[in-house]
Amino acid sequence: MAYWEDIVSDCSWVDIHDIKKSTTAVCCTVGWLVKQDKDITILMSDCSFEVNNKEIKQGGGHTSIPTKNILKIKKLKI
């Protein structure tokens, strides 16, 4: 489970007073950690296996997050 910070934007007309109150969003992604290095963290929600050797063949629902945006990663027991 990765908690990460994301951009918030709005393309409508908003009073400057309210714009100054704007903040970023904290998001949460749950999935399998595919890759993490200093630049990028990639998680995927689904995977399929090769029948014969049980290696992961494909992944689905992947999310690529700049590692500098990661606030915390919590390992889940299954």
Domain ranges (residues) in the chain: 2-73
Q: Which residues pair with 66 in a beta bridge?
A: 40
The band of 15, judged by pLDDT with boundaries at 50, 70 and 90, is very high
Give residue 54's pLDDT: 81
Q: pTM, whole model, 2 decimals?
A: 0.84
Percent of residues, the chain, with pLDDT higher than 90: 86
Higher pLDDT, 74 or 49: 74
Q: Is 40 exposed, middle or buried (0-12, 13-18, 19+ CB in 10 A)?
A: middle
Residues 20-57 pLDDT 10s: 999 999 999 999 999 999 999 999 999 998 888 888 88
Give residue 55's pLDDT: 86
